[in-house]
Structure 1
Amino acid sequence: MRIVVIASCLLAGCAGAPAEKQPISTIGIDHMVIPAVPEVGGPVAAYAGFDNRGSEDRLLGIDCTCAASVELHQVIRNGGQVSMTNTFPLALPMGRTEVKPPGVPLHFMLIGTNRAFSAGQRVPMRLRFERAGVIDVVFTVAEDSKGGWERWRPD
C-alpha cells in the first residue's frame, strides 16, 4: 500500500513538471519538386522555395532514403565552360529564397539515387537547419521540373 502511494506522489510530481520547450519553426517550405527520371543510380535535380519569417538561418543539409547524398549545386559559368560546386550551407536571410528550375544558379542534386522517380510519386526528405532544426517535408515528382514548379499546390 505504501509503495502505491509513493509511486502516485512521484507520478503526480512528474505531471506538474514543465515541458521542455520545442523550437518553433519560422521557415515555410513550398514548391518541393523533383522531375520524373526513369533511370536509377544517376543524379536527379530537386527544387524548393523557402519563406523565412524569422532571423537569418541556414539550410545545413538534406537527407533522404532515395539517394546516397543530397548536394546544393551552384552553377558557375566561365566563358564557354560550365561547372557546378557543392555549396551547402544555403544562407536563408529573412524573406523569400528560391531554388527553382531551371536550376541556375542553384539546385539541389540527389547523388547516387536508388530508385526511379515517376510523375505523381511523393518523396519524403528531412531538411536540417541551423536555427529552425529538422523539418520533414515531402517532394512531389512532376513530368518536368519547370511545369511542376508552376503547377505546385500545397496539400
Structure 2
Amino acid sequence: MHRTIAAVMALVALSACQPRGAGQPVVKGAQVRLAAVPGGPAGGYFTLEGGAKDDRLLRIDSAVVNKIELHESVMNGGVMTMRPIAEVPVPAGKTVVFAPGGSHAMLFGVDPRITAGTGVPMLFTFASGARIEVEAKSVAAGDDMDGMRH
C-alpha cells in the first residue's frame, strides 16, 4: 500500500516538472494585490512573453478564487474606468504587461485564507491549447509589488 502511494506521488511530482512546450508563451512575475476591504476583488498582474507563434490568452483560473476576469483601464470622459477584455492577443516574440493602471486581472471571491505572502495558484489558458500554471506572489493592498508601480 505504501509503495503504491509513493509511486503515485512520484508520478505527480514528475508530471509537475515537465518542461513547457517549445515555442509556448511564458508567464512571468505573477503577483496578486489583495483587496483593501475584506471580500473585495483582488488585482492580478503579470507579464506575458509571446512564443514562436501568435497566440491569445483566453482565461485564467485558480482553485482559490471563484472567478477571474481580464480587464483594461481606459479613460472615459476624463475618468479612469475598467472594461472587460474577452481575450488578450499575445504576438509572437512580444511582451504584454498587465500592471496597475493598465490591463489587469480581477480576482473575485478570493479564499479568505489567502493572506499577504501566500502563494496563489493560477492556470493561464491560451487559444493554442497551451496551459501554463504559475504561483502568484500575494501582497497586501498597501504594500509594494516587485518591479511594479501602484
Q: 1-side partners of 2:38 and 2:114: how far apart?
A: 8
Q: Is 2:23 the counterpart of 1:35? A: no
Letter in 2 for 1:111: F
Structure 2 gap ranges (5+): 1-19
Q: 2-side partners of 1:71 and 1:145: how far apart?
A: 22
Structure 1 gap ranges (5+): 1-21
| 2:90 match | 92
Letter in 2 for 1:69: K
| 2:14 match | none
Q: Which runs of 4+ in 1 moved over 6 A?
A: none
Q: Percent identity?
A: 24
Aligned residue-pair number: 128
RMSD: 2.4
Query: Under a length normalisation based on structure 1, what TM-score does the superposition of the two structures give?
Result: 0.71
Query: Under a length normalisation based on structure 2, what TM-score does the superposition of the two structures give?
Result: 0.73
Q: Residues 1-155 of structure 1: matches in 2 within 5 Å?
A: 24=22, 26-37=24-35, 39-94=37-92, 95-100=94-99, 102=100, 104-115=101-112, 117-143=114-140, 147-150=144-147
Larger Rg: 1
Q: Note the C-alpha offset of 1:131.
A: 1.1
Q: Note the C-alpha offset of 1:51.
A: 1.1
